Chains A and B, each alone.
Chain A
Amino acid sequence: MARILSMKDAINEALDLEMRRDPTVIIMGEDIAGGAGAQGEEDAWGGVLGVTKGLIGKYGAKRVMDTPLSESAYIGAAVGAAACGLRPVAELMFLDFMGVCFDQIFNQAAKFKYMFGGKAQTPVVIRGMVGGGFRAAAQHSQMLTPLFTHIPGLKVVCPSNAYDAKGLLIQSIRDNDPVIFCEHKNLYTHAVDVPAESYTIPFGEAAISREGKSATIVTYGLMVHRALEAAETLAKEKIDVEVIDLRTLSPIDIDTVVESVEKTGRLVAVDEANPRCSIASDVIASVMEHAFKAMKSAPRAVTAPHTPVPFSPTLEDLYIPSAAAIAEAVRGTMK
């Protein structure tokens, strides 16, 4: 009996299970209350796309807090609450909004353990939507994962499917460090088999989504699906591609990537983020450092261009790396 759950429902289930298990887990954010069992003003949406629907009915307004439209205030409150013993999960709606509360995250939450000699813990999770393809324009469509990954003290997660999303979110909540949990909005309805029980997936373990011998594609999030699509096309051309889903960007499982490249000798790094200082450029740099001798051809990066995300649907579709572009890059490494 497969239990097929969308990524949105899997995230809701992870929050539900952890709130049931641990009374110190609270959630907060803009419009996150509402759904089954809620009354009056609280009966809002359960988040802008309904991810937290029904939780206020189960856990009440003290643990499911609708916050004012002030990211700097409630993200700061979540970081403070974490330092004082709670395990807050703050929804930032679109992670593009992190700009207004970035001090609380990179200068405070990420530094506490370091500056207080390891005596302070900050078990906060900041989750929200990332990525394009949702016709939501330049301020609601970015893939800012490289920005978060750059900062020591933050852990950065970006799942590609519902199974991983549930296990990684539970791990994020139980983890004692601040975690930025990036949910690709175009994967919310993507559904796979998800166990009903609680489970965790450790940070820093990439998944091998497809095994292959000819070339390695390294990516994460929505791009995993584009890479798998490219791999199907390439299989018909007898190019047998391995696809690695990083799952967590900090810590990053570079060992699995290096092992794969040592086998295939070819690397294509795919990133929905902009190209400069991206996850793709980071992966390529690491592989060149650790497995240069294994390379049979120059590595390639497939990323969004160095521009904001366009609002025009036609341009937005061209902006996000396509399966065809990924396949072409792999063919390029085969020459």
Chain B
Amino acid sequence: MSDSQIKMIVMPKWGLSMSEGKVVKWLAKEGAKINVGDELLEVETEKIASAVEATDSGTLRRIVGEVDTVYPVKQLLAVIADDSVSDSEIDAFLASYVPPAVDEEGEAEKDAYEYIDLPIGTVRYAKYGDGGKTLLFIHGFGGDLDNWLFNVNTLAENHTVYAVDLPGHGRSVKSLTDASLAGLSKFVLEFMDALSIDSANLVGHSLGGAIAMKTAITAPKRVKTITLIGSAGLGNEINMGYIDGFIGSESRREIKPFLEELFFDRSLVGRQMIDDILKSKRLDNVTDVLRHLADTVFKGGHQAEKLGDAAAASGVPILAIHGTDDHIIPAAHTETLKGKASVHVMGDAGHMVQMEKSKETNKLISDHIH
């Protein structure tokens, strides 16, 4: 009998900035049979709350993570083992368990955001995982690379994953001369050139989806597949109330109702999420860049370009994922892709479907990429 038959459930790390999380409740009971992908418990961080899923199967033998208690990332919360493992072996394992050392230096080193100088200026990105297939995540209007916090780590278990901050967003340069989809697509290709990424699976959210399509159309050889999540560039409408409200809001109180429009479950908009967004929005020139971007890609309150047909004609395989309760870009826009792409419209999800339905989204991406 070796310890390897005892599998640990630990506090997950969602996004680079997460250092601890609170156990909200256990969704599985001790003694329950667990399959891979089953939801075990709910964890809340300052940023967001979500369920932790099992990555191993077996019996949930012992829960040690107490409800309403905060644990550091990687701290043991429960153990899963086959019934063949005796209780005394579980006891011995728990007794000998040493919590991971808080190695802040090493951890910071490993998980650090990276910066690269491009013609447009300094750009921030993050790289996760190694080998397998190459993915590049492109966030949407007003977002940043942390919009992918529930996706990148899971996909990086088997693949090489990049996520980038678009110009004017996150911690990338705060200027954007060509705010058209063509200009942003050129930026994506320059970013890939700089990192010697020959070709990649592009995953775009919202405006990032439109950029991914534009890139597939103009440089199909550089794009293996595209995944369009709550994507722009498929229809006419865009919720300009949201866009203008996001740009114009200066305080926590003003911006909160707009951010809540992004989600099916509005309670996901927490204090930390709002503070992080305001931190980025309050940098000099960000508001100007966002206004310029909105006036270009959503000129006159409509989406400037519809790219579904041309993207399908490029021959690059398309996966589209949309939430039924998307209040920013209607799910009906995906109908233009029916028969030309793999289209999945999910219930109980809003515009941030990659967060609200991360498990399903990750599985679909994983099956789609080349």
Measuring CB to CB, which residues of chain A are less than 8 angstroms from any residue of chain B? 1-2, 167, 195, 197-202, 205, 207-208, 211, 235, 238, 255-256
Contact = CB atoms under 8 A, between A and B. Distances in A.
A1 B111 CA distance: 9
A29 to B, nearest CB: 26
A47 B283 CA distance: 28
Contacts of A208: 271
Given A199-B282, A205-B251, A1 B174 contact: no
Given A195-B171, A211-B46, A235-B70, A1 B282 contact: no
B284 A1 contact: no
Interface string B112-149: 11110000000000000000000000000000000000
Contact of A202 (B108, B114, B115, B250): B250
B252 A1 contact: no
A327 to B, nearest CB: 18
A197 B114 contact: no
Given A198-B283, A207-B275, A255-B253, 8 more contacts: A1-B115, A195-B283, A199-B282, A200-B284, A202-B250, A205-B252, A208-B271, A235-B70
B30 to A, nearest CB: 23
Contacts of B283: 195, 197-199
19 contacts: A1-B112, A1-B113, A1-B115, A2-B108, A2-B112, A195-B279, A195-B283, A197-B174, A197-B283, A198-B283, A198-B284, A199-B284, A202-B250, A205-B251, A205-B252, A208-B271, A211-B46, A235-B70, A255-B253
A238 B279 CA distance: 31
Q: Which of the listed residues B253, B275, B282, B283 has the most CB atoms from chain A within 10 Å of its own CB?
A: B282
A255 B250 CA distance: 16
Contacts of B68: 238
A1 B17 CA distance: 11
Nearest to A163: B279
Interface string B275-294: 10001001110000000000
Contacts of A255: 253
Nearest to B114: A1
Interface string B321-350: 000000000000000000000000000000
Nearest to A171: B282
Contacts of B171: 195
Contacts of A1: 112-115
B282 A200 contact: yes
Contacts of A201: 282
Nearest to B174: A197
A123 to B, nearest CB: 18
A133 B292 CA distance: 49
B284 to A, nearest CB: 4
A255 B252 CA distance: 12
Nearest to A259: B253
Contacts of B284: 197-200
A256 B252 CA distance: 10
Contacts of A195: 171, 279, 283
A180 B68 CA distance: 41
Contacts of A207: 275
Nearest to B281: A199
Nearest to A201: B282
A66 B87 CA distance: 75
Nearest to A238: B68
A238 to B, nearest CB: 8
A205 B70 CA distance: 27
A202 to B, nearest CB: 6
8 closest A-B pairs by beta carbon, nearest first, are: A198-B284, A199-B283, A199-B282, A197-B283, A1-B112, A205-B251, A208-B271, A1-B113
Interface in B64-98: 68, 70
Contacts of B174: 197
Contacts of B108: 2
A200 B286 CA distance: 11
Contact of A211 (B112, B251, B271): B271
Interface string B253-284: 10000000000000000010001000100111
A108 to B, nearest CB: 31
Contacts of A211: 46, 271
Contacts of A205: 251-252
Contacts of B271: 208, 211
A238 B67 CA distance: 11
Contacts of A235: 70
A173 to B, nearest CB: 13
Nearest to A235: B70
Contacts of A197: 174, 283-284
Interface string B234-253: 00000000000000001111
Contact of A167 (B46, B70, B282): B282
Contacts of A198: 283-284
Contacts of A256: 252
A226 to B, nearest CB: 20
Contacts of B275: 207
Nearest to A213: B68
Contacts of B115: 1
Most B Cβ at <10 Å: residue of A199, A207, A211: A199
B335 to A, nearest CB: 41
A64 to B, nearest CB: 23
A4 to B, nearest CB: 10
B129 to A, nearest CB: 19
A217 to B, nearest CB: 16
